[in-house]
Amino acid sequence: MSSDMAHVNGIDIAYDTFGRRGDPPIVLVMGLGTQRVAWPEALCEQLAGSGRFVVRFDNRDVGESTHLADLGTPTALDFLLRRSPYALDAMADDVVGLVDALGLGDVHVVGASMGGFIAQMVAIRQPGRVRTLTLVMTSTGSWRVGRAHPLVVWRLLRRRAAYTRDHAMDEAVRTFRLIGSRGFPFDEAWTRHVAGLSYDRSYDPAGHRRQLAAIVAQPDRTAQLRRLAVPTLVMHGLADRLVNPTGGLALARAIPRSRFVGFSGMGHDLPRPLWAPIADEIARHTDRARYAGRDESVA
């Protein structure tokens, strides 16, 4: 693994890479308030071992990338009126800017949760830059599909900001016991590890709210998705209580010739037993583009 920083779209984006630069590139886009370390290194290394150049990065307002504190903290009224300091479009531009900074041309894009919203915007706005699209536990932007379970919403709204490292780890455990994969053993050690590492790198509740405001303000992309010609894989946990599987199914219905893979017992996280199957699905999906002649890797 190699780590660096790129100046992109007027901000700094921190990123890691895995594998050989000449191999077909995959860019991993993570979700709301979540840092790049939530993409497990084992999953990234498996993809790199299958002949991919893997890039994971911190979105704006999280981790080691630029935090836009000068934009302020969205209020309850902002959320009600769907006002946001920036749109998901800007976060999609960050992705394209990072790709440009790395000189990668067109790439395979994988987005999880909010990262899936961002990945869709990249494909909609610049389809020629996307070799394939993989969307994990995400939705179309329509409020009619992918709705969270009311109990989950209520409990998450009651969550308080953490002021110590231990509190941040405890909150992560409570959150992922609520939204995580009930069909698999809960990996408390991994959850605490990622939460503690993320706290050490940068803990920013205001940045989380700015990202959340961008999600709340997002449009319904269904009509635009129907016009996509990008090969698309949709993966969703069938036990997801934060983004109901109807969100993933709506994506698969909207995007022409897309493929849906549902994982029994998977919630709104990446459970360790599914790291290898998820990496396998991504590798097979990107292989189809290679065999169709869209990839030219360097031997």
d(CA 23, CA 48) in angstroms, rounded, equals 9
Of the candidates 91, 92, 139, the one whose C-alpha atom is nearest the C-alpha of residue 268 is 139
DSSP alpha helices (H): ranges in the chain?
41-49, 76-80, 88-101, 114-125, 150-157, 165-179, 188-201, 205-216, 222-225, 245-254, 275-291
For 60, residues 6+ apart whose C-beta sits below 8 A from its C-beta are 11, 13, 66, 67, 68, 86, 90, 91, 94, 207
Q: Can you give the pTM of this predicted structure?
A: 0.94
Residue 298's pLDDT is 35
Contact predicate 91/118, CB 8 Å: yes
Contact predicate 37/62, CB 8 Å: no
Average pLDDT over residues 113-133: 97
pLDDT in tens, 44-58: 999 999 999 999 999
pLDDT in tens, 214-265: 999 999 999 999 999 999 999 999 999 999 999 999 999 999 999 999 999 9
Residue 292's pLDDT is 58
- Give the containing element (helix H, strand E) for 54: strand 53-57
Count of CB atoms situated within 10 Å of the CB of 220: 14
Distance separating the N- and C-terminal Cα atoms of the chain: 20
Q: What domains are defined for the chain?
A: 2-148+205-291 (3.40.50.1820)
